[in-house]
């Protein structure tokens, strides 16, 4: 029974770590670096927060596609353009990058710290 408890703890720890680790092949930028990127017309900007969070405060270049709707709305995005993804803290945007990567998007950038770090 003790081995089972240890196994469960290890599994939970592994799953938690997986959620917070950067995705291989996804660029990480700070909100300071994002300010330079916002001028580019060659990039697409996606905010994966809820519509309520987005309405409360957002960056005008970002289109709101909530994380739970990303798969069915990914056809609105170009696979050729760099996709810069933001959320409130950087965790949901990292999950969104994982989803998009599995769907064949390769030029992905996550904003570290998300809107919580934006000033």
Of 65, 67, 84, 87, the active-site residue reads 87
What does the H/E/C string look like for the chain? CHHHHHHHHHHHHHHHHHHHCCCCCEEEECHHHHHHHCCCCCEEEEECCCHHHHHHCCCCCCEECCHHHHHHHHHHCCCCCEEEEECCCCHHHHHHHHHHHHCCCCCEEEECCHHHHCC
Residue 97 a catalytic site member: no
Task: Indicate which residues carry an active-site annotation.
Answer: 87
């Amino acid at each position: 029974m003790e081995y089972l408890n240890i196994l469960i703890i290890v599994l939970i720890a592994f799953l938690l770590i997986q959620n917070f680790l950067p995705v291989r092949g996804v660029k990480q930028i700070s909100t300071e670096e994002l300010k330079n990127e916002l001028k580019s017309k060659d990039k697409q900007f996606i905010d994966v927060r809820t519509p309520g969070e987005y309405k409360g405060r957002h960056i005008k270049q970002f289109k709101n596609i909530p994380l739970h709707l990303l798969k069915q709305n990914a056809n609105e995005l170009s696979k050729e353009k760099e996709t810069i993804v933001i959320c409130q803290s950087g965790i949901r945007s990292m999950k969104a990058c994982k989803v998009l990567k599995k769907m064949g998007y390769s030029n992905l950038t996550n904003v570290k710290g998300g809107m919580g770090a934006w000033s």
